[in-house]
Structure formats: C-alpha cells, structure tokens
A and B are shown apart, each in its own frame.
Chain A
Amino acid sequence: MWSSRLGRPRPLACGVEELRRRRREREAALRKARREQQLVSKRLLREDVPEEAAGEGADAPLGEAEVQQFLRLAQRGTDEKEREKALVSLRRGLQHPDTQQTFIRLEGSMRILVGLLTSNRALLQLEAARCLHELSHSEQSAVAEACLPATSYLLTYLSGHSSDFIELCLYTLGNLIVESEAVRKQLVPQGIIPALAACIQSPHVAVLEALGYALSQLLQAKEAPEKIIPSFLDSTLPQHMLQLMQPGPKLNPGVAVEFAWCLHYIICSQVNNALLITHGALSTLGLLLLDLAGAVQRTDDAGLELLVCPVLRCLSNLLTEVPVEAVGGQMLLRDERIVAALFILLEFFLQKQPSLLPEGLWLLNNLTANSPTFCTSLLSLDLIEPLLQLLPLSNAVSVMVLTVLCNVAEKGPAYCQRLWPGPLLSCLLNILALSDTEVVGQSLELLQLLFLYQPEAAQAFLQQSGLQALERHLEEIQLRDRVHAVQHTALHG
C-alpha cells in the first residue's frame, strides 16, 4: 500500500534532479507556512501539469462565455452524452484558477452546479461533484466560500452507499474545510460530526481514508479546540477511530495514518485527554507501536514513518496526563517491549528520516522520567550504548539523549553502577570539548548525578583530565556555577 502510493511513477518531463529541487522548494514553502501558522496542505502542483500534458490544451482557462455555454448545455441539453461532455469540459477548465474566478463571478453558476449535483442523472451528478472538487482545490477562500450552497448536499450524500461518490464528497469537504473558516462555521451546525460518525461505519477502505483526511483537516483548524473537538469527543467517533487503529490483520495503514493524525490534533489540543485514556487510547497506541516496530523489520517500506510519527506524538502527550495513581493500571507502562519497539523505530528513523529522531527521544523521555521500570529496562536490554551512538548527530538530539540518561542516573546508586564502568564517561568528556551551552549544561547535570552516586566514576574522570575539560566553560555565565559544583563534587566526593 505504501510503496504504491509514494512510489507512483509520473510521466517525467523533467529529470530526477529537477524533482528533488522541486521537492526541496515545496518543503521550504511548507516550513515557511508552518512558521506563519498557515499550513495549508492542498496546494496542488498545477505548475507541473502543462509540462506533462503537453499539447492537450485542456488546461487553458475558459472565458466567461465558454463557462456559461457549458453550464447551459449541461443543464438543458437534450442529449445525455452532450450534457456530460459539457460538464467534463467545464471540470477541465476549472483546474485553472482563472476559470475558477470566472465561474464564481458568474451569476447563478453555483445554483446550476448544485442543481446538477442533486439531479437524478447519476453521471451528471458525478461530474458536477468533480467540478466542485476542482473548485475545492482553490487557494482563494472566496472560491471555497462560493461552494457553501453545496455543503448540505455533500453531507447528505455521506450517508449514501455509492462509495466512489462518498469518497469524492469527503475529499471535497476536506479541502473546503482547510481553506475557509466560514465553511467550517457552516459545516458544524449542518451536522458534519454526526454525518462523519455515520460514515465511519462504511466497510470501504477508500471511504475511511477520505474520511480521515476530512476529519484531520477539521481537527487541525485553529478554532478546533473550542468549537469542534468538544462535540467530536461527545460523539461515537473516538471509539470507532480507536477500533480502526487496532493492530492486526485488518489494520489498513492508509486509514490508520489519517486517524493517527486526527488523534494527534485532538490530544495536543488538550481538551479532554482523560476521556481518550478511558477509551483505551494508550493501550491501542502502544500495541500499534509494537506492531509498527515489527513491521519495520519485515518490510522496507519508506512510508512507515508517516504512521509512526503521529503515534509517537500521541503516546508522548498522553503519557503526561496519566494520573500517578492510574499508572499501575496501565498495562503499557509495565511492558518493556515498548522500549524495545521504540529503539527499533529510532534505528529506523536514523536510516530513513533522521529529522524525526527528536520525536522518538521525546517519547523515551516521557517513558523513563518517572519510571524505575523503564529506566531498568534501558539497562537490562543493553540500550545505553546504542543511545550514546546518537550523541554526535545534532545538538537537539544530544540534549535529549543526555536528558534520558539523567532520568536513569537520578534514580540512585543502583542505576549509576550500571552506567559506569562503560563508555559513558568518555562520551561525556568528548561533549565537554563542544561549545553548545545547552548540551554542555545537560552533560554537567549528568556528571553531577554520576559522581554523587558512583564516586569511582569521579576518580576516573579526574584521571582522564576531566578538570581541564571543564575549565574552558567557566567563562560561560549559564555554566559557571555548575562547572564549579561539578569540580567540587569530583574532588571532594
């Protein structure tokens, strides 16, 4: 499923280098958009199209007269085929943003389109829906808002049985939702949540994926925590979603990806995560993580991180909301396979997507912070050394690795005795040769704990010129006091 989606070959009018360059551009554009908190995901690569479909002329914008003519033909033509053809021509024209503008400015155009959408001619209905879908791709919120008269029908059709049509309606809705707050303001009272709750019972995988997409866009809206997530949590959608994410032979990765992202948007909005925990979210997500770690070994699928990422995020955030008294009741928190799975996934990230390593380490921190069980697992499963191997990767990764090691070390002598003798000390000495304040600061915290609980380590440190390594950081204001304190602990125990 994964490779078919991501590795789909497109007719190449340009070379691999060109594709890479475009991808980097898109990535840069997305990063910029995210920093401006305007991450809109439906920008189609329309600029690619003219190169690929050379000479077809299907993408030239339509003039007002042409749009009018096609609409008239579609609405009042006598021959079924002619009507369909007119709509197809209109749809092709609507791929062009100029035609979209022309269309929405034409009086009565949406009314005619909605009429065709709700007509009793099935093929015209399909084509009208496709025209709407084209409009939904526009980046102009005016175009999205022009589609408002159609939304009640799109929602009504979600309860039907024509799976292709439902899928199309869902993607259209998802696109409209992203683009315009006015659309969202209308869809919620129109009953989008109950409509989706009914639709999620569909047995069609493609429908479920489309539903997940639409829902993820709805939950990502900036007003979602106040206006949308509460009614979502009140509905039956959370239980159904969690059920569809249960690992096993019936798990569909494409569906799971969409719902995992939905869950992430809900959980990180911090509306009522306790409710999700009572629905078994922790155990479902934990079992899913185990399953994914197993899958990583079996297949070489490059798309797996699309699912691993949101699952990690959900688990990490949910872990912060398990009340202390409930920890014992959560099976997940007493199962060290989760630590094993996480390391297998860290290794996978290292190979395929190193930028996601911090997210994996975040989970590791949340698992180990208050858990003697998992700190012991790190030691008994021999995972300290692999963890140390991640240190050189980046400052962010270093800080997180050192934090996890501090989680272990602060639990006392029994833990520190297992940290040293070992490679830890020489790694720390290497770090002291660096200059990043945060990294060095965290390593000072670790040294302090290590020396406190394992005095022999301090001896070794002194013998390996540790004091001199510390000296160079005395000038840094944020480090000075801690450097002095570590020197003191090393010398006087």
Chain B
Amino acid sequence: MLLPPALQARLAGAPGAAEPLPVQRDSAAGAAPFLFSPRPVRFPRDHQFFEDGDVQRHLFLQEVLTQVAEEPEKSRVPEFTCQVAGCCQVFVALEDYQHHYHMLHGNTCSFCNRAFPSGHLLDIHILEWHDSLFQILAQRQDMYQCLVEGCPEKFKTSQDRKDHMVKLHLYPADFRFDKPKTNRGPSTPGAAVELSARPLRDDEEAMEVCSEPAMLTPCRRTYSHRIPSTICFGQGASRGFKRTRKNKHQ
C-alpha cells in the first residue's frame, strides 16, 4: 500500500481538519432498487467478524500464561537475616525476603504484634481490639463493619458481621482474618514467654502472631507499622516476577 508521503507529516501536525466539501444529495440516489445508505456499523460480542482478532488475542494469552506458570528465577544472595526486632528468619533470595517482609511485617499491629494481609484489615483490627472508645460506641450503635472492601454494612456484634459475610458474601465461616477477640496474645510479659515456649502450629491462629517470640518494649508505639506500597527493596517498582525470567532469556 503506497501511502502519500505527506501523511506522516499530517499525523505529526496540528489537530483539526480541512473545511468539508458541501453536501448536496439527489433524491434519486437512494431510490429502489438501490439499497445503499451510509450507516455506522455495530458488532456485538460474539459476532463472527471478531474471530480473527480474538484468535490472535488468545494465542498471545496462551504464551503469556505458559511463561507465568514457569518456575520463577530467584536472585540468590548470601544468606541474611530479617532485621525486624524479634524475627530471626533467614533468607537466600531477595524475592522471598520481600514477600516475607510484606506479609509478616508490613501490616503489623504494634499493640499485639499480629500481622495482617492488608492495611484495611489492620485498621479494623486496631479499632475493634485496641480502641476503648470503640467498645463504648459499640454499645449504642452498629460499629462492626463488614470486612469486604466496598461493603458499607455495619453490625452490632462481630457474630452478626460474620453471619452477614457468610450469607451475603459467601465467605467461609472460619475465615482466618475474622477471629473473635480473645484474651490470648502478648499483653503482658508473662504471656510472651508462654507463647515462645509453645510450638507454633500455623494451621491454627494463622497470621495472628509473629512466629518468633514477640519483643515487648515498655514504650509502645501508638501508630501502626505500615510499609508504603512503593517500597520494593531496591528492585524497582516495575519489577514483577515475570521480568526476571525474561531478562534471563533475552
């Protein structure tokens, strides 16, 4: 296809268009037996017209998914230890450490050291477990908010909330991030010692207690310990686990 040389320049030029030529129709134009009239065409989802493009799209996806399913490349480093006070986990790969840090130290309650998968759940936890004003208000109004992001419902008790989440949101009844408040937990130095002595079973009390003995300092921070989402341990914000593989195969 031989395009006029000025076309490139037009693309790079200013927006706008030439004055349209005058339109002047003759009524004989669309008369029978002729059928044509100008008409923008619309194609719905499953139309045959889209077949070729759809097939190309899916071929591409198949390749992507094959890549995604592969064993990821890990950047091996000399063994090092997690620096968070009280955590002695050892790592030999940066990606592992990054995941560990985000999951266990990223959204950690500074009152009781429980780790949460998101800032949202941490906020709710602090409110419901460590805020005395919450308890007072809860006696008078519905304070237990639904844990599902985007759901505005609030409830009188945590059990009511759980029922809502099970019935409406089809959540499991034993959802691990909705454990009822207990008196266990390192609220006193004595309790901390007790915890460290007990072998940890991680199918029980999952995500609630840091695996290593909790360090209790007399002065407790009153803000929650949260890592901004842009922190990526020097790897760059655009790194994803696909990228490392691609680099290798370049």
Contacts and interface: CB of A to CB of B under 8 A. Distances in A.
Interface residues of A, number: 152
Contacts of B38: 368-370, 406-407, 410
Interface in A369-413: 369-377, 379-383, 385-386, 389-390, 403, 406-407, 410-413
Interface in B201-250: 202-203, 206-211, 227, 229-232, 237-243, 246, 249-250
B79 interface: no
A43 B52 CA distance: 18
A39 B54 contact: yes
Contact of A171 (B52, B59, B68, B119): B68
B15 A386 contact: no
Contacts of A193: 150
B170 interface: yes
Interface stretch (B24-32, B125-133, B136-144, B185-193): B24-32
A481 B44 CA distance: 32
Question: Which of A124, A126, A133, A161: most chain B CB closer than 10 A?
Answer: A161
Contact of A381 (B4, B68, B170): B4
A293 interface: yes
A195 interface: yes
A411 B26 CA distance: 9
Nearest to A198: B149
Q: How big is chain B's contact interface, by range?
A: 35 or more
A203 B237 contact: yes
Contact of B8 (A26, A197, A309, A344): A344
B182 to A, nearest CB: 17
B69 interface: yes
A34 interface: yes
Nearest to A111: B203
8 contacts: A27-B59, A153-B176, A159-B119, A161-B106, A316-B41, A320-B40, A340-B7, A368-B38
Nearest to A187: B170
Nearest to A159: B118
Nearest to B177: A156
Nearest to A453: B26
A319 B40 contact: yes
Nearest to B247: A4
A320 to B, nearest CB: 4
Contact of B103 (A42, A162, A347, A353): A162
